[in-house]
Amino acid sequence: MVPLDPHSFTDSTHPLTTHISLSLYFDFPSSTIHGAALFTLSSPHSGPLSLDTRSLSIHQILSPSTLSPLPFSLSPSPDPIKGIHLSLSLPNDNTLSSFLITFSTSPSSSALQWLSPPQTFNKKHPFVYTQCQSIHARSIFPCQDTPAARIRYSALLNVPRELSAIMSARHVDRRLPVSGEGYSNLLPNGFNSLWCSETRVVEDFDMNQPIPPYLFAFAVGELGFREVGPRTRVYSEAVEGVLEAAAKEFAGTEEMIRQGEKLFGDYEWERFDLLVLPPSFPFGGMENPRMVFLTPTVIKGDASGAQVVAHELAHSWTGNLITNKNNEHFWLNEGFTTYAERRIVEAVQGEDRAVLNIGIGWRGLNEEMERFKDNLEFTKLKTNQEGVDPDDVYSEVPYEKGFQFLWRIERQIGRPAFDEFIKKYIVTFKFKSIDTETFLDFLKANIPGIEKEIDLVLWTEGTGIPPDAYEPISNLYTKIVSLANEFKLGRMPREDEVADWHGQEWELYLENLPKVVEASQVLALDARYRLSESKDYEVKVAFLQLAILSKCKNFYGEVENTLKEVGRMKYLRPLYTALVQGTENEEEKILAKRVFAEARECYHPIAQGVVESIFAKHL
């Protein structure tokens, strides 16, 4: 076996899947999906073929034309990172380029969160959604779960008729089920006979552009939407307040798409719809093509949440069109996208706003250097992740160090030349998955001599922050950092100095304060500016982290409330870490364990795993 990806059983000598036709029956009472999947390979194959699975029951593997069984085996015990190796055997006549698998998910699927009605916005109907990045598609259906394998897919989603479904694909139809369609007659456990129940409907989808498996996505629930542009609807559970607030927050989306097209070329995905998920969603956003998933915490009431949308939009070119070959080259997705996001923000919201964004990122990058001081491998852009769960080492490094690398190239050759380079890069590699070496070869071929001006090896393979990285400069940025430095001397900013501040200004200010201050200073800051009550979670969490580290116990109740309100890992990670790290904080550790025990079932499985890994390190 010749591995293609350290996080996949996919064999590089085997043909890759090019298309999957899925029929999925959603059984909400058991929190499971029963499915049939028809796989098409890039070429006929004989002998063994390796697929990734996790927490799946494999019922049958069949030849599609004859429905005769094909031999298969499952590894006896799961790999803690990759899951279960499914090896099937295709006939030796080398004529078969497709096969059929019937399977069922389990309630413990790492990609799926099943929400009961009390856990949803509307409190009336259940809800389920996916999060497949980085390596979780394998817990929904068997696949070559590596970004090197780009697939087209079609899907029939059989759901209760009072619910509706959306996907990262073109919606074809909502209709009554048809008996036997999509091999649904082969579904296990009697669900074949329930396919055509009068209580069910089928939502039909098609994705005809090749995407990596981690971009496979769906959500099923009672959904409503608002139109916010010619290419954009905002979806959420059918709750009036959420939909209206989201539509207002993201009203400028079409202008961002137009600016993105000016910078990076045509938008290739037709639609750019947005789904605001329940608060348990573990990320700020997920760039699923045609249907971006968002946390409700980005709805801030001042349109600043649109910066998260700008990031997910930028992925439409860098990440979705051009994808990292595996997670060791994750910076190719996120560094490029962070650069593209800030260019879009600068065009739409102005240079000062973009510089604040860069400044917050710069501070975050320096904090990640501290986090990984005992494991410098993960301060590199190109990393070695053999035997490493990508969720455990997820950080701002690929985003912010990757951004700094590209910004360094821009400064070297000038923005006009770099803009032309980016456009050529996208045209050259669109709908392909590449690695760092491929990018560097393209860079050197198109910008001759760049390796003499910039140490490309140091930037991509070196640890830490290179000396030619750059802290941003602007009058506003400098003023905020200066005010944060004055706090160390006991001076709080005056109200007239912060009168025009929004969430980002406060976030930058708090990020530049000392990690630990006097509890009386925390109380005084909150008494004047009510940061613990902020509706902007970036501000609120930064303040609560300061309160925990400063042992200001007056805010522990608000810490508990926050950890129970939201499941976004950007907030869970710093708050739980602040509570449990160190040796003289038994009270805080007891609080962390109790809150997690009470809130755990409201977190997505990925977030549960992250908190458990924090506890494993510190408790």
The pLDDT value recorded for residue 204 is: 98
Instruction: Return d(Cα 450, Cα 464) in angstroms, integer.
Output: 21
404 is known to lie in a ligand binding site: no
**Are 602 and 119 a contacting pair, CB within 8 Å?**
yes
Identity of residue 158: N
Cα(269)–Cα(289) distance, integer angstroms: 7
Mean pLDDT by 10 residues, the chain (619 residues): 91 97 98 98 95 98 95 97 97 87 98 95 94 97 98 98 98 97 93 95 98 98 97 93 93 97 97 96 97 96 87 98 98 98 95 93 96 97 97 96 98 98 98 98 98 98 98 93 93 95 94 95 97 96 97 97 97 97 92 97 95 95
pLDDT of residue 508: 95
Annotated ligand binding at 26? The verdict is: no
399 given a catalytic annotation: yes
Cβ neighbour number for residue 596 with a 10 Å cutoff: 21
pLDDT per position as a tens digit, 234-286: 999 998 789 999 999 999 999 999 999 999 999 999 999 999 999 999 999 99
pLDDT value of residue 249: 94
Helices (H) and strands (E) in the chain, counts: 19, 21
229 labeled binding residue? no
Domains annotated on the chain, with CATH:
17-221 (2.60.40.1730), 317-461 (1.10.390.10), 475-618 (1.25.40.320)
3-state secondary structure 169-189: CEEEEEECCCCCHHHHHHCCC
C-alpha separations of 89 from 55, 99, 612 in Å: 21, 10, 38
Q: How many CB atoms lie within 10 A of CB 370?
A: 8
Neighbouring CB atoms inside 10 A of 206's CB total: 15
Give the DSSP H or E segment for 552. none
Q: What is the pTM (predicted TM-score) of this model?
A: 0.96
Q: How far apart are CA 575 and CA 579, in angstroms?
A: 6
Do the bridges between strand 223-229 and strand 232-237 make them parallel or antiparallel, or are there none, so unpaired? antiparallel
Residue for token pair 């630990």: 516
Q: Of these residues, 312, 368, 396, 588, which one is catalytic?
A: 312
pLDDT for 303: 79
Q: Is 286 annotated as a binding residue?
A: yes
H helices present in 265-375, as ranges: 306-314, 331-349, 351-371
> What is the bridge-based pairing of β-strands 17-27 and 151-160?
parallel
Q: How crowded is residue 350: how many other Cβ atoms within 10 Å of its Cβ?
A: 10
Q: What is the pLDDT of residue 498?
A: 96
- Cα–Cα distance measured from residue 52 to residue 142, given in angstroms and rounded to the nearest whole number: 6
Q: Any binding-site annotation on 35? A: no
Asked whether residue 60 is marked as a ligand-binding residue, the answer is no
Is residue 282 annotated as involved in ligand binding?
yes
Strand partners, 21: 38, 154
Structure tokens at 342: 């800030």
The helix (run of H) or strand (run of E) holding residue 403 is helix 402-413
The verdict on whether 214 is a catalytic residue reads no
Distance, CA of 39 to CA of 151 (rounded, Å)? 10
Helix, strand or coil, per DSSP, at residue 107: coil
Which residues, including other chains, have CB under 8 Å from residue 282's CB and lie 6 or more apart? 131, 567, 568, 569, 603, 604, 606, 607, 610
3-class SS of residue 517: coil
The whole-number pLDDT of residue 29 equals 97
Q: For residue 469, which of 358, 576, 373 has the smallest C-alpha distance?
A: 358
Please provide residue 124's backbone torsions phi and psi, each rounded to the nearest 5 degrees.
-110, -40
Give the pLDDT of residue 346: 96
pLDDT computed for residue 203 by the predictor: 98
Q: Does 131 carry a binding-site annotation?
A: yes
Q: Which CA distances in Å does 399 have to 19, 107, 326, 404, 443?
A: 31, 32, 16, 9, 19
Q: Which residue has the tokens 């599609």?
A: 64
Phi-psi sector, 305: left (phi>0), alpha (psi -120 to 50), beta: alpha
Backbone angles phi, psi at 594, to 5 degrees: -65, -45
* Per-residue tokens: 567: 């499941």
Q: At residue 462, what are phi and psi to the nearest 5 degrees?
A: -85, 155
What Rg value do the Cα atoms of the chain yield, rounded?
25
Annotated binding residue 569: yes
Q: Which of 214, 235, 339, 399 is catalytic?
A: 399
CA atoms of 138 and 100, how far apart (whole Å): 16
Q: What is the pLDDT of residue 1?
A: 72
- The helix (H) or strand (E) run that includes residue 269 is none
Confidence at residue 584, expressed as pLDDT on a 0 to 100 scale: 85
421 strand-pairing partners: none
Mapped onto helix, strand or coil, the DSSP state of residue 237 is strand
311 is in an annotated binding site: yes
| Long-range CB contacts for residues 88-95, cutoff 8 Å, separation at least 24 | 88/48, 88/49, 88/51, 88/61, 89/47, 89/48, 89/49, 90/45, 90/46, 90/47, 90/48, 90/49, 91/46, 91/63, 92/46, 92/47, 93/46, 94/44, 94/45, 94/46, 95/44
